[in-house]
């Protein structure tokens, strides 16, 4: 039984939101296997994922309104201690969080980079990561049903952080 339906959106960790274009059944070594054919919205990349592996891969539905509210709470929490390690170590840690596909981890990365930006200049890699985290978060928030009134634009995220 399929967890997702054709036409629905799903989040693929590390790549963002994609649309299920097809659910295909293929015979491999004499056994039938079901695959989700997904196209990532941001890049246009097409991916085929075995339905039996969606938990392992981390493919998940778009967030709910309650989860979006929690994301906004994470973004608003500016009383966090930013790790003082080198930028490249911090970059690796943040990249691991983004790759999990967890909207909460991505929100933490976005928040931490905005907070860090107040104290010091971000490296090129950190600036790029800030944009990546922001785009992943906004894409999901904009497409999730019943979430549009929580936060739905770059300017609203900037307003949360008090930046222009």
Instruction: Using the predicted structure, report yes or no on whether residue 35 has a pLDDT greater than 60.
Output: yes
Q: Model's pTM, two decimal places?
A: 0.82
Query: What mean pLDDT, rounded, does the chain reach?
Result: 85
Quick one: 106 and 142 in the same domain? yes
Q: CATH number, domain at 56?
A: 2.40.10.170
Q: CATH number, domain at 115?
A: 1.20.58.1290
Quick one: 74 and 53 in the same domain? no
Instruction: Using the predicted structure, report yes or no on whether residue 112 has a pLDDT greater than 70.
Output: yes
- DSSP secondary structure of the chain: --SS-TT-EEEETTTEEEEEEEEEEEEETTEEEEEEEEEETTT--EEEEEGGGHHHHT-EEPPPHHHHHHHHHHHH----PPP-S-HHHHHHHHHHHHHH--HHHHHHHHHHHHHHHHHSPPPHHHHHHHHHHHHHHHHHHHHSTT-TTT--SHHHHHHHHT--
Instruction: Using the predicted structure, report yes or no on whether residue 2 has a pLDDT greater than 90.
Output: no
What is the structure's pLDDT at 161? 60
What is the structure's pLDDT at 34? 92
Q: Domain total for the chain?
A: 2
The percent of residues in the chain predicted with pLDDT above 70, rounded, is 87
Mean pLDDT calculated for residue range 98-127: 89
- Does 21 map to a domain? yes
């Amino acid at each position: 039984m399929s967890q997702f339906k054709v036409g629905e959106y799903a989040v693929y960790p590390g790549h963002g939101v994609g649309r299920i274009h097809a659910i295909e059944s293929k015979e491999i070594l004499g056994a039938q296997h079901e695959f989700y054919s997904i196209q990532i919205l941001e890049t246009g990349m097409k991916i085929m994922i075995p339905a039996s592996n969606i938990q392992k891969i981390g493919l998940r539905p778009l967030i709910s309104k309650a989860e979006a509210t929690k994301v906004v709470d994470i973004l608003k929490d500016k009383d966090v201690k930013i790790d003082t390690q080198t930028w490249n170590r911090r970059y690796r840690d943040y990249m691991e969080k983004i790759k999990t596909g967890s909207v909460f981890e991505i929100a933490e990365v976005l928040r931490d980079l905005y907070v860090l930006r107040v104290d010091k200049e971000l490296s090129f890699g950190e600036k790029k990561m800030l944009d990546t985290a922001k785009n992943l978060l906004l894409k999901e928030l904009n497409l999730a049903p019943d979430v549009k009134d929580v936060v739905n634009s770059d300017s609203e995220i900037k307003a949360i952080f008090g930046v222009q």
